[in-house]
Amino acid sequence: MRDWWLGTAPGEWVSMAVASDGSYGVPHGLVYSFPVTIEKKEWSVVKGLKLSGFAEEKMRSAAEELISEIIDAESDGHTLLARL
């Protein structure tokens, strides 16, 4: 919350769960943790960070798991919000 309120320092970023804009191969709209900068209470995904093959695979796997959980919840006739 501190960074969201005060912003990130120049050249610094924080991790935040936000709706994907398609960055790093994460499907558009999926809520996922990304590196972000924050200025004037507006966040922006940091683009172009170099990722290892291991990191890319872990991100792909995590995104697939999140999508699977959404599909499972919806196939049970529930929304994720209704389960909270």
User: 60: Cβ–Cβ under 8 A, 6 or more apart, which residues?
Assistant: 25
**pLDDT tens by residue, 40-78:** 999 999 999 999 999 999 999 999 999 998 888 777 665
Q: Tell me the pTM.
A: 0.79
67: which 2 tokens? 């999508």
Angle, alpha carbons 44-64-36 (nearest 5°): 15
Give domain limits for the chain: 2-83
pLDDT of res. 77: 62
CA torsion angle for 71, 31, 34, 18 (degrees, to 10)? 180
- State the Cα–Cα distance between residues 23 and 44, nearest whole angstrom: 11
Where does 2-83 sit in CATH, by number?
3.90.110.10
